[in-house]
Amino acid sequence: MWYAISVKVNENLQTPTTKFIFVFILACGFMHDCTQVKEAGRTVGHTTRDLATEIGHGARDVTREIGHGTRDAVRGVGGGTLEATKAPAEEVKKVVKPAPAPSEY
C-alpha cells in the first residue's frame, strides 16, 4: 500500500506546476519559521541590550558616589584648603624623566 502511494505521489510531482506549488508551500513554511526565529532573536537581543544598559548605568552611579565620597574625605583630611589637595600633584609634576643613554649599536 505504501508503495502504491509513493508511486502515485512521484507521478504527480512530475508536472512543473505541481513542483512549483510544492516548492512554494515549502518556502512559505520555511519563511514562517524564519520569522518566528527572527522575532525570538530580536526579543533576546533587545532584552540583553536593556539589561546591559541598566547594569552600566548602575555601575556609573556607584562609581560616581565612590568618587565623590573619596573626594570629600580627602578634602576633609586636608582641612579643606586648596593647597592640601594640590601638594601631591605638584610633587608629581616636578619629576623629570632621565635622558636615554646613547647606545653603540
CA distance 73 to 76: 5
Cα dihedral 67, 73, 79, 80, rounded to 10, equals 30
Enumerate the H helices of 78-99 as residue ranges: 82-93
Q: Is the pTM of this model over 0.85?
A: no
What is the per-residue pLDDT across 46-104, written as a single tens digit (0 to 9) for each? 999 999 999 999 999 999 999 998 888 888 776 555 555 565 555 555 556 677 777 77
The answer for residues whose C-beta is within 8 angstroms of residue 38's C-beta and 6 or more apart is: none
